[in-house]
């Protein structure tokens, strides 16, 4: 738990430095090309940009902790509330995608392992390879063409239809983006579940369970599954990182108003405070998710202890 | 008197196992074709990939002179796909070589010397791995400025921890083995031990990881270009083509479908080959 603190400090330092290295003077960018030199120097002083780097980092970190994330250059509004709102939208998408990935990937992996080398297993494993070889942004476009243009049954962009704010409408808008986002994760989870399951069903206690006459169904569901799912938990946790990254691309394809779209628009508009905030928010949430995964892992597997 | 025993090196055995894996062979062949087409792009491409022809805008597939149609500026899509493959393969393999080079050096040092050096390196790697990979690449490109070279640099940096960890893990288990101890006792210098004894024994996991990683790098580079952060128009690059084609998805879906299909094929080939290599190099893992 405490080892999290150096990592989080490292993350903030890296985010800070990466944005510091960006070419161009933030004060100049904020004031525009026509600003006088005195005005730029004045703003640099006000922003503390004339201070040593370490002092700047310390100040910035204190502000971040206090919840004062600064104002966006492009949007002219407070960054933190804006980003939190956007992050909420992305969270819907990610939650949907994770649920889909688990509810398809885990059963597919189990079936594949139980019927190893069957036609179904082979087909599933080829599909898995195709699943994580597919560029996510391309898949999004294909789904848009199919469901939006050819069949015309699902909305292809945004979060809500104009003038509607009900849950049904939201869910309909989430279908294509989360389907796109989930494909790679589903593939990896299915593959991991399969190999974990294969390892478990070769162990002695499973042979014992079979030889005492338990039905195959009971052996798999009551004895094998529990142990097989432990490594899968880690993979699901790792997929959250994949989903957070893929989310950026999916949000661009579907013009989905999440944190990824905000980040990319910020980069293209050279709105560095906003980009910095967005990256920090996503990275810290990833660190926290990993912590939760570690805790769940230790809870599920009594052999694991964390100091 | 038994029959003659043919002695084969582990490499030969691995190659033979690989040859029996039909998926891996298909992947290798597909990859070879893609590489060949990329190398021969100047000869094979029917047209200059940036040559516009406003009289032939958005031509459908099968138009005479434009076998795969043309884009919004009348450029030949087939030629752009061929040249784009050159960019993607070069970026994919290039980024892996850079990432692997640095990752191997860092991982060898951390694993072999241990102590404070290992702690410092591993903490840095923890920080790099605390970011979702593509997000870190986006952050680096945001800082360096958009462009193909910066995108390649960004995905290379993101890849370093992956290799460093693989190598460090292998080195930690090798370090205590007798032959390494023996080399140390007879006074071989560290550099020689690392390059002659440790590294060759880490090669199999490295080869497998690198093969699978080229695919990821190609997708990541195309993704960055798709976001407008990698290769810039009018460069013929698959991500750029996909992104530009999106505006015409209603009237000319092939503009975005074809480059994506090309990425899928190449990445799939790499994954088939990578999986096959893993099974061939480490038969114990085979399931």
Tell me the C-alpha to C-alpha distance, in Å, between residue B109 and each of A269, B52, B102, B157.
Answer: 41, 52, 11, 18
Could B138 and A132 be called an inter-chain contact, meaning their C-beta atoms sit closer than 8 Å?
Answer: no
- Judge whether A231 and A196 are in contact, CB under 8 Å: yes
d(CA B194, CA B34): 35
What phi-psi label fits residue B53: left (phi over 0), alpha (psi between -120 and 50 degrees) or beta?
Answer: beta
Q: What percent of chain B has pLDDT over 70?
A: 96
Taking an 8 Å cut-off on Cβ atoms, the answer to whether B264 and A21 are in contact is no
Domains defined along chain B, listed by start:
17-46+79-285 (1.10.3720.10)
Average of per-residue pLDDT across A147-153? 87
Chain A: residue nearest B286 by CA? A195
Determine the residue among B223, B229, B264, B277 to mutate to test chain A binding: the one whose Cβ has the most chain A Cβ atoms within 10 Å.
Answer: B223
Nearest to A283 among B131, B249, B261 (CB): B131
Instruction: Report the pLDDT value the prediction gives residue A301, as an integer from 0 to 100.
Output: 76
pLDDT digits (tens, 9 = 90+) for A73-93: 888 889 999 999 999 999 989
Most A CBs within 10 A among B84, B134, B212, hence the mutation to make, goes to B134
Name, in order, each residue with C-beta under 8 angstroms of B124's C-beta and a sequence gap of 6 or more: A10
- CA–CA separation, B197 vs B170, rounded Å? 12
Express each pLDDT in B136-179 by its tens digit.
Answer: 999 999 888 889 999 999 999 999 999 999 999 889 888 888 99
- pLDDT for residue B18: 87
Mutate to test the interface with B, among A141, A180, A261, A290 (most CBs of B within 10 A): A141
pLDDT tens digits, residue range B73-112?
889 999 999 999 999 999 999 999 999 999 999 999 999 9
HSE of A200 in the Cβ direction (CA atoms, 13 Å)? 25
Give the CA distances from residue A279 to residues A24, A152, A260, B265, B271, in Å, rounded to whole numbers and listed in that order: 19, 35, 9, 32, 30
Q: Which neighbouring-strand residues pair with A78? A: A71
Q: Radius of gyration (Cα) for chain B, nearest Å? A: 23
B120 at the A interface (CB within 8 A)? no
Say what the pLDDT of residue B283 is. Answer: 60
pLDDT value of position B287: 41
pLDDT digits (tens, 9 = 90+) for B18-47: 888 888 999 999 999 999 999 999 999 888
User: Which chain A residue lies closest to B273 (C-alpha atoms)?
Assistant: A129
Q: pLDDT band for B4, please (50, 70, 90 cuts).
A: low
Find, in chain A, the residue whose alpha carbon is nearest to that of B142: A267
The three-state DSSP-derived secondary structure of chain B is CCCCCCCCCHHHHHHHHHHHCHHHHHHHHHHHHHHHHHHCHHHHCCCCCCCCCHHHCCCCCCECCECCCECCCCCEHHHHHHHHHHHHHHHHHHHHHHHHHHHHHHHHHHHHHCHHHHHHHHHHHHHHHCCCHHHHHHHHHHHHCCCHHHHHHHHHHHHHHHHHHHHHHHHHHHHCCHHHHHHHHCCCCHHHHHHHHHHHHHHHHHHHHHHHHHHHHHHHHHHHHHCCCCCCCCCCCHHHHHHHHHHHCCCCCHHHHHHHHHHHHHHHHHHHHHHHHHHHHCHHHCC
Instruction: Please give, rounded to a whole number of angstroms, the shortest distance from the CA of B105 to a CA of chain A.
Output: 22
Per-residue tokens: B249: 């998805």
Picking from B48, B168, B56, B150, the residue whose alpha carbon sits closest to that of residue B104 is B168
Residue B231 makes CB contacts below 8 A (sequence gap 6+) with B87, B147, B148, B151, B221, B225, B237, B239, B240
Return the residue in B123, B124, B131 with the most chain A beta carbons within 10 A, the one to mutate for interface testing. B131
Tokens describing residue B258: 């074809």
What pLDDT is attached to residue B3? 55
Interface touch A133/B267, C-beta < 8 Å:
yes
Closest CA to B226 of A175, A209, A246, A208: A246
Nearest C-alpha in A relative to B123:
A7
Q: Is A141–B246 a contact, with Cβ atoms under 8 angstroms apart?
A: yes
Our CA-based measurement puts residue A287 at a distance from the nearest CA of chain B, in whole angstroms, of 6
Residue A228 has what pLDDT? 84
How much is the pLDDT for B1? 46
SS3 of chain A: CCCHHHHHHHHHHHHHHHHHCCCCCHHHHHHCCCCCHHHHHHHHHHHCCCCCHHHHHHHHHHHHHHCCCCECCCCCCEHHHHHHHHHHHHHHHHHHHHHHHHHHHHHHHHHHHHCCCCHHHHHHHHHHHHHHHCCHHHHHHHHHHHHHHHCCCCCCCCCCCCCCCCHHHHHHHHHHHHHHHHHHHHHHHHHHHHHHHHHHCCCHHHHHHHHCCCCHHHHHHHHHHHHHHHHHHHHHHHHHHHHHHHHHHHHHHCCCCCHHHHHHHHHHCCCHHHHHHHHHHHHHHHHHHHHHHHHHHHHHCCCCCCC
The C-alpha atoms of residue A130 and residue B266 are separated, in whole angstroms, by: 11
**More reliable by pLDDT, B37 or A298:** B37
- Per-residue model confidence (pLDDT) at position A137: 93
A3: confidence class by pLDDT, cuts 50, 70, 90 = confident
Taking an 8 Å cut-off on Cβ atoms, the answer to whether A141 and B257 are in contact is: yes
Residues carrying CATH 1.10.3720.10, chain A: 79-300
Whether the per-residue pLDDT at B285 is higher than 60: the answer is no
Q: Supply the ipTM of this predicted assembly.
A: 0.88
What distance, in Å, lies between the first and last C-alpha atoms of chain B? Answer: 36
- Judged by phi (left if over 0) then psi (alpha if -120 to 50, else beta), residue A48 lies in left
Omega prior to A130 cis, within 30 of 0? no
CA dihedral in degrees (B82, A245, A235, A174; nearest 10)? Answer: -100
Q: Does B133 touch chain A (CB under 8 A)?
A: yes
CA B284 – CA B205 distance, rounded (Å): 13
**Does residue A2 have a pLDDT over 70?**
no
**Closest in A22, A145, A253 to B142, CB measured:** A22
The phi and psi torsions of B163 (rounded to 5 degrees) equal: -75, -40
B153 and A CB contact within 8 Å: no
Asked: is A79-300 a CATH 1.10.3720.10 domain? The reply is yes
Measured distance CA(A113)–CA(B184) in Å, rounded: 46
Do B159 and B214 meet the contact criterion of CB atoms below 8 Å apart?
no
Which positions in chain B touch A138 (Cβ < 8 Å)? 242, 256-257, 259-261, 263-264
In chain A, the residue whose alpha carbon lies closest to the alpha carbon of B275 is A129
Which residue from B132, B253, B257 is facing A282, i.e. has the nearest CB? B132
Task: Say if B257 is an interface residue toward chain A (CB within 8 Å).
Answer: yes
Mean pLDDT of chain B: 89
């Amino acid at each position: 738990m405490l080892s999290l603190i150096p990592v989080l400090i490292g993350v903030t330092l890296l985010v800070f430095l990466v944005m510091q290295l960006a070419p161009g003077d933030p004060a100049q960018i904020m004031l525009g090309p026509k600003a006088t030199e005195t005005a730029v120097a004045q703003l640099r002083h006000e922003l503390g940009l004339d201070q040593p780097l370490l002092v700047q980092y310390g100040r910035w970190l204190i502000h971040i902790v206090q919840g004062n994330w600064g104002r966006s250059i492009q949007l002219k509004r407070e960054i933190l509330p804006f980003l939190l709102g956007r992050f909420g939208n992305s969270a819907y998408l990610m939650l949907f995608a994770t649920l889909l990935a688990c509810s398809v990937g885990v059963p597919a992996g189990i079936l594949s392992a139980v019927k190893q080398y069957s036609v179904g297993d082979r087909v599933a494993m080829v599909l898995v390879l195709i699943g994580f070889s597919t560029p996510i942004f391309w898949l999004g476009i294909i789904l848009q063409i199919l469901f939006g243009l050819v069949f015309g049954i699902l909305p292809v962009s945004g979060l809500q239809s104009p003038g509607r704010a009900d849950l049904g409408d939201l869910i309909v808008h989430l279908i294509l983006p989360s389907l796109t986002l989930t494909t790679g994760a589903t593939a990896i989870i299915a593959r991991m579940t399969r190999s974990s399951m294969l390892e478990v069903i070769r162990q002695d206690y499973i042979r014992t369970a079979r030889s005492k006459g338990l039905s195959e169904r009971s052996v798999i569901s009551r004895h094998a599954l529990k142990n097989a799912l432990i490594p899968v938990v880690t993979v699901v946790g790792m997929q959250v990182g994949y989903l957070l990254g893929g989310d950026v691309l999916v949000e661009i394809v579907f013009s989905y108003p999440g944190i990824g779209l905000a980040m990319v628009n910020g980069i293209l508009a050279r709105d560095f405070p906003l980009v910095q905030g967005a990256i920090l928010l996503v990275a810290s949430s990833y660190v926290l998710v990993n912590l939760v995964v570690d805790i769940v892992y230790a809870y599920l597997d009594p052999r694991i202890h964390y100091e | 008197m038994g029959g003659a025993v043919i002695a084969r090196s582990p490499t030969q055995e691995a190659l033979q196992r690989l040859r029996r894996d039909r998926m891996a062979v298909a992947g290798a062949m597909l990859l070879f074709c893609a590489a060949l087409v990329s190398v021969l792009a100047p000869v094979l491409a029917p047209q200059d990939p940036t040559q516009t022809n406003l009289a032939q805008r958005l031509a459908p597939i099968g138009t005479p002179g434009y076998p795969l149609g043309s884009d919004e500026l009348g450029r030949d899509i087939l030629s752009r796909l061929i040249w784009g493959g050159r960019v993607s393969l070069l970026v994919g393999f290039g980024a892996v070589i850079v990432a692997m080079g640095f990752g191997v050096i860092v991982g060898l040092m951390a694993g072999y010397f241990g102590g404070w050096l290992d702690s410092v390196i591993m903490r840095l790697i923890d920080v790099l791995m605390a970011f979702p990979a593509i997000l870190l690449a986006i952050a680096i490109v945001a800082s360096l400025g958009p462009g193909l070279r910066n995108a390649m640099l960004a995905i290379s940096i993101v890849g370093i921890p992956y290799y460093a960890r693989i190598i460090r893990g292998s080195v930690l288990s090798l370090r205590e083995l007798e032959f390494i101890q023996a080399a140390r006792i007879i006074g071989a210098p560290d550099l020689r031990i690392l390059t002659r004894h440790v590294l060759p024994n880490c090669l199999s996991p490295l080869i497998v990881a690198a093969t699978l990683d080229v695919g990821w790098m190609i997708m990541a580079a195309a993704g960055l270009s798709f976001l407008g952060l990698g290769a810039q128009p009018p460069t013929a690059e698959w991500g750029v083509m996909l992104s530009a084609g999106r505006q015409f998805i209603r009237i000319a879906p092939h503009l975005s479908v074809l480059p994506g299909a090309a990425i899928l094929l190449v990445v799939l080939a790499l994954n088939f080959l990578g999986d096959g290599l893993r099974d061939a190099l480490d038969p114990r893992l085979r399931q």
